[in-house]
């Protein structure tokens, strides 16, 4: 009887340990400072929010940073569980469910300071060479607005084309563009770039969970619940403030 009791206790302890193991969640996105980047403390404020929320809900997130078009493809095909920093579009809603918004993306045009042209609306971009990230919402917005945008795989390519005079402007998120310039270019080059005041697009950023993941709705519900709690108890604001926002 003592042996059976000990065996039962051992099995119960092991089962309890297994049940407590957090479910790993693999999430892909691009290098997108100040929201998310391997070069930032805690990999950026947006990632710190997402990671904290998921851990509190019993998940263990794993971040993969790669070119955006590859992250998009991996999420669509279910090679990863989710795509981070994603805009919600009808096309993406075919293969993903979207969380409540984590933040907001404000797309603007970065151009050389000595280029003397202004932008009043989207049609003004149609006569210029404009680049945008392949697969990004900004790229789609430009195309729908009649602007034949040139796709680039990474932000570095977009800024290099502008600085080298091979493109008139690079359209991307205002805060991400500024942060990326400061991280990757010298002050002299950064000072050559100007940001147009006209907003090309304003959109929300989400966690997009692949419908090919069997428990995608469980992850979605848990994330939304945790995000709501983080906003209510002040955690969201504290994380942003710790990153200087």
Residue 56 CB contacts under 8 Å (≥ 6 apart), including other chains: 226, 229
Answer yes or no: is pLDDT of 170 > 60. Answer: yes
pLDDT digits (tens, 9 = 90+) for 127-165: 899 999 998 989 999 999 999 999 999 999 999 999 999
**What confidence category does residue 20 fall into, taking pLDDT thresholds of 50, 70 and 90?**
low
Q: How many CB atoms lie within 10 A of CB 69?
A: 18
Give the pair of three-digit tokens for residue 7: 């065996």
Q: CA nearest 167: which of 148, 188, 186?
A: 148
Question: Do residues 209 and 216 make contact, with C-beta atoms less than 8 angstroms apart?
Answer: yes
> How far is it, in rounded angstroms, from Cα 57 to Cα 51?
10
- Please write the tens of the pLDDT for every residue from 49-65: 999 999 999 999 999 99
Q: Work out the average pLDDT over 103-112.
A: 94
Kindly indicate the confidence band of residue 5, based on its pLDDT and cuts at 50, 70 and 90: very low
The per-residue pLDDT for 2 is 45
Q: Given this model, what pLDDT does residue 4 score?
A: 45
pLDDT of residue 116: 78
Rounded Cα distance between 71 and 36, Å, is: 14
- What's the confidence (pLDDT) of residue 197? 84
Average pLDDT (14-31) is 77
Q: How confident is the model at residue 118 (pLDDT cuts 50, 70, 90)?
A: confident
């Amino acid at each position: 009887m003592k042996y059976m009791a000990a065996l039962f206790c051992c099995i119960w302890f092991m089962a309890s340990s297994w049940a407590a193991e957090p479910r790993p969640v693999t999430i892909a996105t691009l290098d997108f400072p100040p929201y998310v980047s391997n070069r930032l403390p805690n990999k950026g404020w947006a990632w710190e929010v997402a990671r904290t929320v998921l851990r509190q809900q019993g998940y263990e997130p794993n971040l993969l940073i790669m070119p955006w078009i590859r992250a998009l493809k991996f999420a669509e095909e279910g090679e990863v569980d989710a795509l981070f920093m994603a805009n919600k579009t009808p096309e993406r809603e075919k293969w993903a469910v979207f969380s409540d918004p984590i933040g907001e993306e404000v797309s603007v045009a970065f151009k050389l300071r000595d280029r003397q042209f202004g932008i009043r609306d989207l049609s003004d971009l149609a006569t210029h060479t404009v680049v945008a990230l392949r697969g990004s919402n900004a790229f789609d917005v430009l195309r729908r607005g009649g602007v034949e945008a040139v796709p680039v795989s990474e932000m570095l390519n977009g800024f290099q084309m502008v600085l080298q005079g091979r493109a008139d402007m690079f359209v991307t998120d205002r805060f991400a563009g500024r942060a990326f310039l400061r991280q990757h270019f010298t002050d002299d080059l950064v000072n050559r770039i100007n940001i147009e005041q006209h907003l090309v697009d304003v959109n929300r950023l989400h966690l997009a969970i692949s419908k090919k993941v069997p428990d995608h709705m469980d992850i979605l519900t848990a994330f939304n619940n945790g995000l709501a709690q983080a906003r209510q108890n002040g955690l969201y604001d504290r994380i942003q403030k710790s990153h200087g926002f």
